[in-house]
């Protein structure tokens, strides 16, 4: 996946507490600033074969931050049926104020099967579960994982705007959305990031 923070590269990135961070550079939009390279955590539990040893996964996430200066970590509630968020929350809890976490809503788990669901009541329930699993009081970037054609993008955007007002979500994004859907959603609640498959085979 390619995740685009809708801003520009900074020539003089802020000090992030790690020398490697300035070598990586940063991306910035409004008050969301992250390392240019982020770590997508899906494959540690879900999607690419058997999950690795938990100790190895924990060491990888911490090494990515401590030695490489990565400050942006991406997960989702449906990766491994909640277990990916739990892993990320456990590892990043001690350094929560040094990192930004992105997670996603919109793919519901029903009878161990995935279904698109971005109804307001589902989003409100999803954010509470993600906050608990991630061991945090806010989500830095909250993506709509896939567009739910049964729920208008304006209705989704209005729900996220409510969560932003409450401080539970700081920024919002969309994944695998078309240009017109992005425009409609952005008019109601501005988007910070869009996420799309980077593979040429997918495009």
Catalytic site residues? 79
- Cα dist from 4 to 1, 8, 153, 155, 195, whole Å: 10, 10, 20, 23, 6
C-alpha 35/C-alpha 25 separation (Å) is 6
Element (H, E) at 28: strand 26-29
C-alpha 69/C-alpha 72 separation (Å) is 9
The candidate with the shortest Cα–Cα distance to 121, out of 159, 162, 76, is 159
């Amino acid at each position: 996946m390619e995740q685009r923070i809708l801003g520009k590269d900074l020539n003089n990135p802020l000090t992030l507490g790690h020398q490697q961070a300035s070598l990586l550079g940063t991306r910035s939009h409004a008050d969301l600033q992250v390392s240019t390279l982020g770590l997508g955590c899906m494959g540690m539990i879900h999607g690419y074969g058997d999950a690795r040893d938990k100790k190895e996964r924990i060491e990888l996430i911490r090494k990515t931050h401590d030695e490489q200066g990565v400050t942006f970590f991406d997960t989702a509630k449906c990766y491994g049926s909640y277990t990916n968020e739990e892993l990320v929350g456990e590892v990043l809890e001690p350094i929560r104020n040094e990192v930004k976490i992105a997670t996603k809503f919109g793919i519901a788990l029903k009878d161990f099967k995935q279904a698109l669901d971005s109804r307001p009541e589902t989003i409100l329930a999803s954010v509470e579960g993600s906050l608990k699993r991630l061991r945090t009081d806010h989500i830095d970037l909250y993506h709509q994982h896939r567009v739910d054609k049964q729920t208008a993008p304006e209705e989704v955007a209005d729900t996220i705007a409510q969560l932003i007002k409450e401080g539970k979500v700081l920024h919002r994004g969309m994944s695998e959305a078309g240009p017109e859907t992005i425009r409609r959603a952005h008019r109601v609640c501005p988007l910070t990031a869009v996420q799309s498959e980077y593979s040429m085979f997918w495009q």
